[in-house]
């Protein structure tokens, strides 16, 4: 008899990050993995979370505004000129 | 050698991105402006956002970030490299922002979890409990597998992502930025932001789930998936 918890889609979407982080108890992990195995929609949801991470990894953060950037670069230059 | 132009920094950015931590540190110690510019360009805005959540004004947040960069510039010689440069950077920032917040006597105590609605997917997308299949999807997600934007971000998607990240509550933005945009691992993020592992996971969960929702809207609106 399986000790895994019975997980529905509405619970899956709340547990999924913890599962991806490897932070669930054995019982919960079993329940999540069983659910993934039988639920094509949640399988898609999981893929989307992974794709989200992938897309974010390709996102370049915006640089500081030019005046601030130049000021900071000047400070960096100045400090190194003193060496 | 002049570093005035932005193109110089952009040209070396991919090189710097694949540099090891040790190489980056070495370049910074040697006064390599491209290396410093690389850090500035990547982390400045997330730092401003995070500082702003600890202090009362935009000006105070800018001060805190400026002070942090100065501390980094001056401290790079002594930095022992036991954590990554980026972890160290955020650690300094959070410490300074908290001190500044205390000095300003912010009346609202800072909570690392920040306020949130609690759910990450609209409850209306699931069948309610009166239904035989209560708790299962009523409006399930549709695969993005065929969306070309998964491979190449166009400028519209980039803008949406930028806006959505800016709209996240500060600590969620910090975690998602450090974990998913910049690839720091969970332990590094906990040190950098001074949060527990459990809190970090909650913040990641909420922030990343929100970003998924944003991308889903983008893909549906532009007809990239049906």
Measure CB to CB from residue A48 to each of B153, B180, B216 and give the nearest one.
Answer: B216
At B138, is the pLDDT very low, low, confident or very high (cuts 50, 70, 90)? very high
State the Cα–Cα distance between residues B125 and B121, nearest whole angstrom. 7
Q: What is the structure's pLDDT at B1?
A: 38
Question: pLDDT, tens digit, for every residue of A13-45?
Answer: 999 999 999 999 999 999 999 999 999 999 999
**B177 DSSP 8-state letter:** I
Kind and range of the H or E run holding A71? helix A66-81
pLDDT at B118 over 60: yes
What's the rounded Cα separation, in Å, for the pair B62 and B196?
26
* Cβ–Cβ < 8 Å for A51, B144: yes
> Do the Cβ atoms of A14 and B205 come within 8 Å?
yes
**Mean pLDDT across chain B, nearest whole number?**
83
Residue B116: pLDDT band with limits 50, 70, 90: low
Token pair belonging to A75:
């400070």
User: The pTM is what?
Assistant: 0.80
What would the mean pLDDT of B108-128 be, rounded to a whole number? 73
Q: Answer whether B136 sits within 8 Å of A9, measured CB to CB.
A: yes
pLDDT for residue B94 is more than 70: yes
Which residue is closest to A55 within chain B, CA to CA? B150
> Looking at the complex, does the CB of residue A47 fall below 8 Å from at least one CB of chain B?
yes
**DSSP class of B143:** -
User: pLDDT tens-digit profile of B195-210?
Assistant: 999 999 999 999 999 9
| CA distance linking residue B34 with residue B6, whole number of Å | 10
Q: List the single residue in B36, B145, B149 with the smallest CB-CB distance to A76.
A: B36
């Amino acid at each position: 008899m399986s000790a895994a918890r019975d997980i529905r889609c509405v619970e899956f979407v709340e547990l999924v990050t913890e599962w991806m982080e490897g932070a669930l108890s054995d019982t919960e992990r079993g329940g999540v993995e069983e659910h993934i195995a039988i639920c094509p929609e949640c399988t898609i949801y999981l893929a989307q979370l992974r794709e989200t991470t992938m897309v974010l990894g390709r996102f370049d953060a915006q640089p500081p505004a030019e005046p601030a950037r130049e000021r900071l670069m000047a400070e960096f230059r100045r400090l190194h000129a003193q060496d | 050698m002049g570093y005035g132009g932005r193109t110089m920094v952009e040209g070396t950015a991919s090189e710097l991105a694949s540099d090891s931590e040790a190489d980056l540190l070495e370049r910074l110690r040697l006064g390599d402006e491209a290396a410093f510019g690389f850090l500035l360009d990547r982390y400045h805005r997330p730092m401003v956002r995070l500082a702003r959540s600890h202090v009362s004004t935009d000006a105070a947040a800018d001060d805190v970030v400026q002070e942090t960069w100065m501390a980094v510039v001056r401290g790079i010689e002594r930095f022992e490299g036991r954590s990554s440069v980026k972890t160290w950077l955020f650690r300094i920032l959070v410490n300074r922002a908290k001190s500044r917040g205390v000095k300003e006597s912010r009346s609202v105590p800072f909570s690392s979890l920040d306020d949130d609605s609690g759910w990450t997917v609209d409850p209306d997308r699931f069948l309610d409990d009166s239904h035989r299949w209560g708790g299962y999807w009523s409006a399930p997600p549709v695969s993005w597998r065929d969306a070309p934007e998964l491979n190449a971000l166009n400028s519209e998607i980039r803008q949406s992502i930028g806006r959505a990240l800016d709209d996240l509550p500060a600590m969620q933005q910090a975690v998602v930025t450090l974990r998913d945009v910049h690839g720091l691992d969970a332990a590094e993020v906990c040190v950098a932001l001074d949060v527990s592992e459990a809190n970090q996971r909650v913040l990641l969960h909420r922030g990343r789930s929100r970003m998924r929702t944003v991308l889903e809207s983008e893909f549906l609106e532009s007809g990239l998936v049906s």
